[in-house]
Amino acid sequence: MSFLSLPIGLIRSCLLTLSVGLHLHATDWPGFRGPGGLGIASADARPPIQFSPTAHVAWRIDCPAGNSSPIVVGNSVFLTAASDRRLSLRCLDLATGQTRWQRDMDVPRTEEVHRTVGSPASATPVSDGHRVFVHFGSMGMAGFTLDGRELWRHPLPITETEYGASSSPVLAGGLLIQLIDQDSHSYLIALKTEDGSLAWRLERPDMRRGFGTPVLWPHHGRKDLVVPGTIFLTGLDPATGAERWRIPGLARITCTSPVFEGDRLVVASWTTGGDRGADRIELPAFDDVLKTADRDADGRLSLAELPAGAAQERRKHLDGNRDGFVDRSEWESMAAIFARVENQAFAVEPDTDGTLRETGVRWRFKRGLPYVASPLIHEQRVHLIKNGGFVTCLDARTGRPHYQEERLGGGGDYYASPILAGGHLYFASQRGVITVLRDSADFQVVASNDLGEFIHASPVPVGNQLLVRTASHLYAFR
């Protein structure tokens, strides 16, 4: 594969589906994040469709903990990992899996992560073909040459969510863009790739905790940085961070990333409490809660005073500033979010001048939605994977299903995003089963491959190989 086609096979976590062979500059490609990933559509790759821990294995290495996907630059594989308070970037030989070099970054403490599926190494690296860049929620950003020399380091405050950081860095020309949506003081920053200095910073006070990776979307002679967030999908000028458009319709916590094909942008998000009906979460008026729960009458709620149910279960989400109390502004902010959230997939197209408005939404679909795994779009078909192993295929033009919530054999949750290579779709379950479907408007399972280990990172097709990161190994199937 040529270098310009490589990033399709390089990327992991969270989102963009494009075909190898599109004539885009390498710096137009976003990195992946994990768990989750970009849905990758690779026209050139021809990886195997049947494989196992003992079949079609080109190489296998022991892999330290992490949810990020590998990326490939030339004949090198780059991978991040975490062990105790040591964060690392490793460079492997694509042909053999042998380690060429490893660079470690020690931190005083690591961020809080999900107790079962989280990792301090969840953001996938990104490369411009000359350098490789990483983000760790416990440390910040760093840039390296391809032979392992550290160029710069840009420290950032430790990410404050109970699940850790997941969004991966995105390249836009000479800028490295990183989304940090957390429980308070969310922001988006752009660093200069040359030296790691700050180019711009955008505060996002209305965003509360998010894990999707932005994408760079070319249309109408310009590029929009499309950023998922709480309730809103926003389009920014990647050079300055200035907001160009904003469309409501997302869940309160967005783990997926948008995808696009031509001028059609598709997004899907789901979080508990966002469906209409009995399961919808609503918070009562703050004054009403104070009357019964504020035992010390100080006008705020300690975490122990929060009423049982939705509030107590989401106490860390409510206590955005981590001071151990929920005040009026925090409560009312979350109550407004709960009132507006909407679990759905939708497609939007710009006006003739490139402007996006809510009137540009072409369809909405509310079934079979993914939680963490991003959609995949290819040849006017949108593929969604719902936890439990239910796959849906929609017509990208109309939103009508070709098939809906067909059951895969893998079952369980799905944190890796689907990929497409060689005319087949690959769906990797958390349980470690990769189910392969034929790429068509009909539901056709052609293979089921059980690797016997958890999978949170999206697989990466490159040439005739498939790179798969499991809980303790990195495989190259050929």
* pLDDT tens, position by position, 177-203: 999 999 989 999 999 999 999 999 999
- First-last CA distance in the chain: 15
Mean pLDDT of all residues belonging to the chain? 89
CA quadruple 69, 164, 252, 310: dihedral, nearest 10: 130
Structure tokens at 175: 């800028």
Decide: 373 and 390 in contact? Cβ < 8 Å.
Answer: no
Reported residue count of the chain is 478
Confidence of residue 12 (pLDDT cuts 50, 70, 90): very low
For residue 62, count CB atoms less than 10 angstroms from its CB and return exposed for 0-12, middle for 13-18, buried for 19 or more: exposed
User: Per residue in 40-73, pLDDT tens?
Assistant: 767 688 999 999 999 999 999 999 889 999 999 9
In the prediction, which pLDDT does 205 show?
Answer: 92
Decide: 42 and 72 in contact? Cβ < 8 Å.
Answer: no
Decide: 136 and 121 in contact? Cβ < 8 Å.
Answer: yes
DSSP state of 28: G
In the prediction, which pLDDT does 16 show?
Answer: 31
User: Per residue in 240-299, pLDDT tens?
Assistant: 999 999 999 999 999 999 999 999 999 999 998 888 777 788 899 999 999 999 999 999
| Cα–Cα dist 2/53, whole Å | 29
In the prediction, which pLDDT does 48 show?
Answer: 96
| Cα–Cα dist 95/164, whole Å | 33
CB proximity list for 1: less than 8 A, separation 6 or greater: 9, 20, 44, 45, 462, 463
Q: What does the pLDDT average to over 423-452? A: 97
CB proximity list for 80: less than 8 A, separation 6 or greater: 66, 68, 87, 88, 89, 90, 121, 123, 124, 125, 134, 136
In the prediction, which pLDDT does 41 show?
Answer: 67
User: Per residue in 28-43, pLDDT tens?
Assistant: 333 333 333 456 767 6
Decide: 259 and 17 in contact? Cβ < 8 Å.
Answer: yes
CA neighbours within 13 Å on the CB side: how many for 431? 14
| Cα–Cα dist 166/284, whole Å | 31
In the prediction, which pLDDT does 65 show?
Answer: 84
Q: What does the pLDDT average to over 100-128? A: 92
Q: Is the pLDDT of residue 477 over 80?
A: yes
Q: Which residue ranges form the domains of the chain, and what is each CATH number? A: 3-271+341-477 (2.130.10.10), 286-339 (1.10.238)
Percentage of residues of the chain with pLDDT beyond 70? 91
Residue 84 vs residue 49, higher pLDDT: 49
Q: What does the pLDDT average to over 419-439? A: 96
Grouping H, G, I as helix, E, B as strand and the rest as coil, residue 333 is: helix
